[in-house]
């Protein structure tokens, strides 16, 4: 899922070393979603260094958790029309797990994201947390590939308000704006 261009420069032994480093005996004895939390940590560190490009910001996990806990997505379809790295899905799943239920049995995750590399990060985020979802590349302002208009049970988003590449003429007569 990672962008190949950046990772082709790595020596072939590095991915193996990384896997061995992330799989010590101590981790085999720990309960819970350890790999998911490690992944979230690295996403946060990456965001601190690379975020804020083109008006896009990484939403802190604490804020995403607050949104999930306020909306209480117990069962149904969760749509994030600006899903970024998929944090809304992970925190929705955590909410369901705290109810001692399996999020894959109670929630369906659908996301839209304009950046292909970020989509890959979101898909990896779902995978390391054991979640299933459908994330498509789209600019939410005028693309609706999931056809969930008035069908999603929960819409959770922290959209980038300052992004380029939005054609105002395309949304001027949009039925969703009226």
pTM attached to this predicted model: 0.70
pLDDT tens figures, 114-134: 888 889 888 988 988 889 999
What is the rounded distance in angstroms from the CA atom of residue 13 to the CA atom of residue 38?
21
Question: Would you place residue 55 in the very low, low, confident or very high pLDDT band (cuts 50, 70, 90)?
Answer: very low
Is 5 inside any structural domain? no
Instruction: Report how far apart, in Å, the C-alpha atoms of 123 and of each of 26, 72, 75, 88, 146 are.
Output: 27, 23, 21, 13, 16
Average pLDDT over residues 3-16: 65
Boundaries of domain holding 46: 14-160
Cβ proximity of 103 and 130 under 8 Å: no
Residue 57 burial (CB count, 10 A): 14
Among the listed residues 151, 155, 119, 147, the one whose alpha carbon sits nearest the alpha carbon of residue 135: 119
Most confident region among 23-37, 74-88, 112-126, 156-170 by mean pLDDT: 74-88
Report the C-alpha gap between 137 and 159 in whole angstroms. Answer: 15
Largest interatomic CA distance in the chain: 58
Q: For 39-62, what is the mean pLDDT?
A: 61
- Outline where the chain has alpha helix (H): 4-7, 13-21, 25-28, 34-50, 61-71, 87-97, 103-106, 116-128, 168-171
Beta bridge partners of 77: 108
64 within a domain of the structure (yes/no): yes
More confident residue, 139 or 56: 139
Q: Are 106 and 98 in contact (CB under 8 A)?
A: no
Average pLDDT, the chain: 78
The answer to whether residue 178 sits within a structural domain is: no
* Each residue's pLDDT tens digit, 131-157: 999 999 998 877 777 888 778 999 998
Beta-carbon neighbour count of residue 170 at 10 Å?
A: 12
The more confidently predicted of residues 128 and 5 is 128
Three-state SS at 109: strand
Q: How many domains does the chain have?
A: 1
The pLDDT score that the predictor gives to residue 6 is: 57
Task: State the CATH number of the domain containing residue 125.
Answer: 3.40.50.150
Does any domain span residue 82?
A: yes
Inside any domain, residue 165: no
Q: Is residue 101 part of a domain?
A: yes
């Amino acid at each position: 899922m990672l962008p190949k261009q950046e990772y082709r420069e790595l020596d072939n032994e590095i991915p193996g070393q990384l896997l061995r480093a992330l799989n010590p005996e101590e981790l085999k004895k720990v309960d819970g979603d350890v790999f998911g939390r490690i992944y979230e940590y690295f996403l946060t560190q990456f965001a601190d260094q690379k975020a804020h490009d083109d008006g896009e910001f990484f939403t802190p996990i604490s804020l995403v958790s607050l949104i999930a806990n306020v909306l209480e997505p117990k069962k149904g379809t969760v749509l994030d029309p600006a899903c970024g790295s998929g944090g809304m899905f992970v925190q929705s799943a955590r909410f369901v797990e705290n109810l001692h239920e399996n999020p894959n049995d109670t929630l369906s995750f659908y996301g839209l994201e304009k950046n292909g590399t970020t989509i890959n990060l979101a898909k990896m985020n779902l995978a390391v947390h054991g979640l299933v979802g459908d994330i498509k590349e789209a600019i939410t302002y005028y693309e609706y590939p999931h056809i969930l208009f008035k069908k999603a049970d929960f819409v959770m988003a922290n959209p980038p308000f300052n992004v380029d590449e939005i054609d105002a003429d395309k949304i001027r007569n949009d039925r969703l704006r009226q």
